[in-house]
């Protein structure tokens, strides 16, 4: 398996396959053909076959995919069982929502620390997990060695904080602050999340529909 | 301009162009070449030229793009000035975070109503905006005619709520509940948001790096 050559767009689809197969398994579905899987996922069957062939291919011609085996395999490719140590910084509404809403273990991560720079927030807890002051980040990172940081801090605070965290050994950032983070060092991984982009896609879709119905009417 | 033929992947990049050009304009940058724009956005220059040519092309050979004009044009294509009437349902941490964190006007939407089914939440307000009980949705929709609904409700509640909203005239859903929404009617637009997918991409990236350094070491 030449994993290095897999295109980023295939990699971006893997979490979706993993999630989808998990839902099928929960429903008790044991096998699925690439045709059925494609219909349910809104992809073409040949796309699915191509994607999964990148990883050696798990299907048997005329027999379909074993749902659980395929999900397990994709989970291993994604590294879900490795429990990356993660910290989350910024416990405003968004940080709290991420901490509560996202299943870190299902994403191969373990949330080991929460931090906020506001002294009225630090010292409290979130569902029993203590919120530390950001002043204590250095000591915490030296001891606990988190690899991944979730940034839910204001845009202006994010770049300096990220630099500090890189110096403390953090190698991956899940960035919810409004500005994009960039690093010259390609070994530092960043996912800049822009929630608004998908809302704009809806806005565009509504406009297209209006244009169509106007031109028809 | 044959807008109907534009591929979904180009459309998905438009919000990013729009955001990026806005940041350049804020920095006082008036013109940018496709080469510079591509370097800053991590795309190839030919990709950018192709994308923008889909909409008639705004650049002049050897002269670059006018940042503000291009942003305005993309904004018009996206329909940003149309102020779609939107409601948000479910004012837990995530709903509050979305309401606070996302700039609805910059996405061509106006948030006109907040709703929650919890009687202890309904009746309160969020930054001065009243939170209504979901029992009042029908009356509100008849009067205010929202087109778009942001769903921050539990997974089990989302499908029935969405059906109810479609019957009340809602045509687009920004869905943050864990399960995907699907409609047989293709005129109903859905963006199912899966925050965890981008976290899994980071997990995968970390695993790839480990694999590389192991094979080198």
- Residue A102: closest CA among chain B residues belongs to which residue? B196
Residue with tokens 């870190």: A104
CB contact under 8 A, B201 and A209: no
Tokens for B33, please give them: 């070449």
Instruction: Write the ipTM.
Output: 0.85
Look at the alpha carbons of B175, B177, B178, B183 in this order and tell me if their dihedral is positive or negative. negative
**Which band of pLDDT confidence, cut at 50, 70 and 90, is reported for residue B3?**
very low
Whether A77 shows a pLDDT value over 60: the answer reads yes
pLDDT, one tens digit per residue, over B23-69 is 899 999 999 988 888 888 878 888 888 888 776 656 666 678 889 98
Residues of B in contact with A14 (CB under 8 A): 200, 204
Confidence at residue A39, expressed as pLDDT on a 0 to 100 scale = 83
Q: What is the largest CA-CA distance in chain B?
A: 67
Query: Which H, E and C letters describe B13-59, residue by residue?
Result: HHHHHHHHHHHHHHCCCCEECHHHHHHHHCCCHHHHHHHHHCCCCCC
Mutate to test the interface with B, among A23, A93, A169 (most CBs of B within 10 A): A93
Smallest CA–CA distance, residue A78 to chain B, in Å, is: 4
Beta bridge partners of B65: B32
- DSSP H or E segment with residue A86: strand A84-89
Confidence at residue A59, expressed as pLDDT on a 0 to 100 scale = 61
Confidence at residue A95, expressed as pLDDT on a 0 to 100 scale = 96
Q: Who among B16, B96, B209 is closest to A93 (CB)?
A: B96
pLDDT, one tens digit per residue, over A116-154 is 999 999 999 999 999 999 999 999 999 999 999 999 999
List the alpha helices (DSSP H) in A2-128.
Answer: 8-26, 34-41, 45-53, 67-78, 93-101
Lowest mean pLDDT among A202-206, B6-10, B16-20, B68-72: B6-10
CB contact under 8 A, B203 and A108: yes
Is the minimum CB–CB distance between B18 and chain A shorter than 8 Å? yes
CB contact under 8 A, B102 and A199: yes
Query: Residue B55 and residue B74: Cα distance in Å, rounded?
Result: 9
Contacts of residue A46, Cβ cutoff 8 Å, sequence gap at least 6: none
Whether A189 shows a pLDDT value over 90: the answer reads yes
CB contact under 8 A, B12 and A201: yes
Average pLDDT over residues A85-94: 96
List the alpha helices (DSSP H) in B102-194.
Answer: 137-144, 158-167
CB contact under 8 A, B198 and A209: no
Contacts 24+ apart (CB under 8 A), B37-43: B37/B65, B41/B16, B41/B17, B43/B13
Confidence at residue A3, expressed as pLDDT on a 0 to 100 scale = 45
CB contact under 8 A, A97 and B100: no
Q: Who among A106, A196, A206 is closest to B102 (CB)?
A: A196
Confidence at residue B173, expressed as pLDDT on a 0 to 100 scale = 98
What pTM value is reported for the model? 0.86
Q: Who among A23, A193, A203 is closest to B78 (CB)?
A: A203
Query: Residue A215 and residue A183: Cα distance in Å, rounded?
Result: 47
Smallest CA–CA distance, residue A64 to chain B, in Å, is: 23
Higher pLDDT, A66 or A152: A152
Is the minimum CB–CB distance between B1 and chain A shorter than 8 Å? no
- Residue B77: closest CA among chain A residues belongs to which residue? A204
For residue A89, the SS3 value is: strand
**Which band of pLDDT confidence, cut at 50, 70 and 90, is reported for residue A36?**
confident
Query: Residue A7 and residue B201: Cα distance in Å, rounded?
Result: 13
If you ran DSSP here, which 8-state letter would residue B120 be given?
T
| C-alpha distances in Å from residue B53, one per residue of A64, B30, B66, B70, B160 | 41, 20, 15, 12, 42
Higher pLDDT, A28 or A45: A28
Residue with tokens 């096998």: A31
Lowest mean pLDDT among A31-40, A172-181, B190-199: A31-40
Confidence at residue B34, expressed as pLDDT on a 0 to 100 scale = 85
Is the minimum CB–CB distance between A100 and chain B shorter than 8 Å? yes
A57 Rama class: left (phi>0) / alpha (psi -120 to 50) / beta: left
If you ran DSSP here, which 8-state letter would residue A184 be given?
S
pLDDT-above-70 percentage for chain B: 93
**Which band of pLDDT confidence, cut at 50, 70 and 90, is reported for residue B11?**
confident
If you ran DSSP here, which 8-state letter would residue A144 be given?
H
**Which band of pLDDT confidence, cut at 50, 70 and 90, is reported for residue B94?**
very high
Q: Who among A102, A200, A202 is closest to B199 (CB)?
A: A102
Is the minimum CB–CB distance between A167 and chain B shorter than 8 Å? no
**Which band of pLDDT confidence, cut at 50, 70 and 90, is reported for residue B216?**
low
Confidence at residue A49, expressed as pLDDT on a 0 to 100 scale = 84
**Which band of pLDDT confidence, cut at 50, 70 and 90, is reported for residue B6?**
confident
Helices B158-167 and B137-144 cross at an angle (nearest 10°) of: 40
CA atoms within 13 A on the CB side of A137: 22
CB contact under 8 A, A194 and B12: no
CA atoms within 13 A on the CB side of B33: 8
Within 168-197 of A, beta carbons closer than 8 Å to B belong to: 171-174, 176, 179, 187, 189, 191, 193-197
Is the minimum CB–CB distance between A96 and chain B shorter than 8 Å? yes
């Amino acid at each position: 398996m030449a994993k290095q050559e897999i295109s980023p767009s295939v990699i971006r689809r893997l979490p979706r396959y993993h999630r989808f197969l998990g839902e099928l398994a929960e429903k008790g579905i044991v096998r699925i053909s690439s045709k059925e899987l494609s219909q349910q996922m809104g992809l073409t069957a040949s796309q699915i076959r191509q994607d999964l062939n990148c990883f050696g291919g798990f299907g048997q011609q005329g027999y379909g995919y074993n749902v659980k085996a395929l999900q397990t395999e994709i989970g291993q490719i994604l590294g879900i069982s490795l429990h990356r140590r993660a910290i989350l910084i910024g416990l405003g509404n968004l940080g709290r929502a991420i901490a509560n809403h996202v299943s870190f273990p299902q994403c191969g991560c373990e949330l080991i620390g929460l931090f906020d720079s506001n002294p009225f927030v630090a010292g409290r807890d979130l569902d029993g997990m203590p919120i530390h002051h950001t002043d204590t980040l250095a000591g915490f990172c030296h001891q606990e060695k988190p690899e991944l940081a979730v940034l839910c801090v204001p845009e202006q605070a994010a770049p300096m904080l990220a630099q500090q965290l890189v110096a403390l050994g953090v190698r991956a950032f899940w960035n919810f602050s409004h500005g994009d983070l960039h690093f010259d060092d390609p070994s530092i991984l960043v996912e800049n999340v822009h929630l608004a982009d998908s809302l704009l896609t809806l806005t565009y879709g509504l406009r297209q529909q209006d244009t169509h119905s106007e031109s028809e009417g």
